[in-house]
Chains A and B, each alone.
Chain A
Amino acid sequence: MTDTIEQRVFRLIAKQAKVDPSEVRADSTMASLNVPSLGAVELIFDLEDEFDISFPDNEGADFNSETAGHLVSVVEKVLADKAPASGGSAN
């Protein structure tokens, strides 16, 4: 049985927050989970690595106020956009 995208995202968030994945909820923000700003940037890298995607550039984004649920939806959207052209890795 494979994990859902949400489970995989939450697990990576939990790793940065140093909490159990069960403590991450959709409305948890990185700040509320005490993920430091550098940890939030590393989380984006973790997500890109996990899903082999490129996170969109949101200029001046404040990752500290991102919610876990929003990160899941961004990953889902990027994966969906990527799907039709899944001929080769962009890397």
Chain B
Amino acid sequence: MSARRSARERVVITGVGAVSAAGLGAGPLWEAMIAGRSGIARLRHPDVDRLRVKVAAQLPESLALESHFTQDQLSIMDRVSQVAVVAAREAVTQSGLDFADARLADQAMVVVGSSVGGELTHDEQCRRLYSESNARVHPFTIVRLMMNAPASQISMEYGLHGASFVVASACASSNHALLQAVQAIRCGQTEVVISGGTEACLSYASLRAWEAMRILSADTCRPFSAHRTGLVLGEGAAMFVLESLAHARARGAAILCEIAGGGMSADGADIVQPHMEGQVLALQRALADAGLASHDIDYINAHGTGTRANDVTETRTLHAVFGRHAEKLAVSSTKAIHGHALGATGALELVAVVGALQHAVVPPTINLDAPDPDCDLDYVAEGARPMPVRAAISNSFAFGGLNAVLALTPAPAD
């Protein structure tokens, strides 16, 4: 353990919450990951007949998201804020924190990742204005769609007064947000942060825009398979309560695991094509920041989108960073379970990593129906694998070449 690391606050997770295609709760999401049960299904959308894309990983209808809020709340909340708040409630409840404690509420921060914010509100109001020639725009349009709304709504839910904001870096938004939270705790700015990611952007316009990029799969997501045909969009949120280790111990909280460190980088090269060099940097920085050697890592939750470009580049990156240890890594992508929820995806995938560290089981990569010679690592294709996990990595590599990697370890021994 380096002097540098012991000199700063350590950061642990004491609460987890999620809303996803697997339903309400981090528990059901983890169970779906372990069972290899995909939340990808036929797209439910009023404009489905005008769309090419026919599948997505949407919240189950039975979840009745709006029933979790009052009418007054719903009038000022886009779906992206609704899923964020529902996930945050679960995480806070699990953590046992009581924000009625003014000292706690005064310092607690909210740092949320999201790729596009209130897209459904934007789409709905534009449709009224342009397509239905209805000149009246809802007066709460701005407060629903503004990017910071999910962080604001969580802070309002608990009356929190710490620095709070939203971080946007496309598909790496969650991991970038979580790393901002980690830095804030480490430097003593706060002892508690609610952090994670949220996304709800399956609007007609957004789906058409993704179609135009021609990277959506027509049927399902097959990470690392030779038969992979693209990504499948998802929606949802996952939130975490991050605390300093000292704070969690002082109140006797149950610690789920530790965020040992993280690394961020920019490819600085291309707006869509992933570049190995930038990814390697992010991983190396994460290992160094966490004080971990490459051979300490047992599990990698891959970005694993199921696109031609991502999966082969990510595989090469892992070879470059881990050398001969790469073949000993258990690597899995859970995107075929919860879909690619863009700004929320890193947070949903962190549920897999927290679960793997807690339960010593690694979730599988499902739909890996044909080996690709260019994707030659152990992707845990046979099903969930019981195995000790000493340390794990979670990768997020975004469009725009923005990379953010988390390194996690089990809850520290007392």
Taking beta carbons and an 8 Å cutoff, which residues of A are in contact with B? 37-38, 41, 44-45, 54, 57, 59-63
Contacts and interface: CB of A to CB of B under 8 A. Distances in A.
Nearest to B228: A60
Given A37-B273, A38-B271, A38-B272, A57 B212 contact: no
B229 interface: yes
Interface stretch (B58-66, B71-79, B167-175, B213-221): B213-221
Contacts of B150: none
Interface string B198-225: 0000000000000011100110000000
A57 B218 contact: yes
Contact of A60 (B52, B229, B271): B229
A73 to B, nearest CB: 19
A60 B273 contact: no
Given A57-B52, A59-B229, A60-B228, A41 B214 contact: yes
A59 B218 contact: yes
Interface size class, chain B: 10 to 19
Contacts of A37: 272-273
8 contacts: A37-B272, A37-B273, A38-B271, A41-B213, A45-B212, A57-B52, A57-B214, A60-B308
B117 interface: no
B176 to A, nearest CB: 24
Nearest to A42: B212
B308 to A, nearest CB: 6
Nearest to A40: B214
Contacts of A57: 52, 214, 218
B230 A60 contact: yes
A89 to B, nearest CB: 12
Interface in B267-293: 270-273
Nearest to A62: B308
Q: Which 3 A-B pairs have the closest CB atoms?
A: A59-B229, A60-B229, A59-B218
A57 B214 CA distance: 8
A86 to B, nearest CB: 19
B273 A59 contact: no
Contacts of A41: 212-214
A5 B389 CA distance: 60
Contacts, number: 26
B214 A61 contact: yes
B138 to A, nearest CB: 28
A44 B212 CA distance: 9
Contacts of B229: 59-60
B131 to A, nearest CB: 13
Contacts of B213: 41
Interface in B155-214: 212-214
Given A54-B52, A59-B217, A60-B229, 5 more contacts: A37-B272, A37-B273, A38-B270, A38-B273, A62-B308
A61 B228 CA distance: 11
A40 B65 CA distance: 40
B212 A59 contact: no
A48 to B, nearest CB: 9
For A38, A45, A57, A62, which residue has the most chain B Cβ atoms within 10 angstroms?
A: A57
B276 to A, nearest CB: 16
A59 B271 contact: no
Contacts of B217: 59
Contacts of A44: 214
Nearest to B222: A60
Interface string B236-272: 0000000000000000000000000000000000111
A84 to B, nearest CB: 20
A60 B217 CA distance: 8
Nearest to B273: A37
B328 to A, nearest CB: 30
Interface string B296-312: 00000000000010000
B354 to A, nearest CB: 33
A44 B270 CA distance: 20
A59 B272 CA distance: 18
B130 to A, nearest CB: 15
Contacts of A62: 308
A88 to B, nearest CB: 14
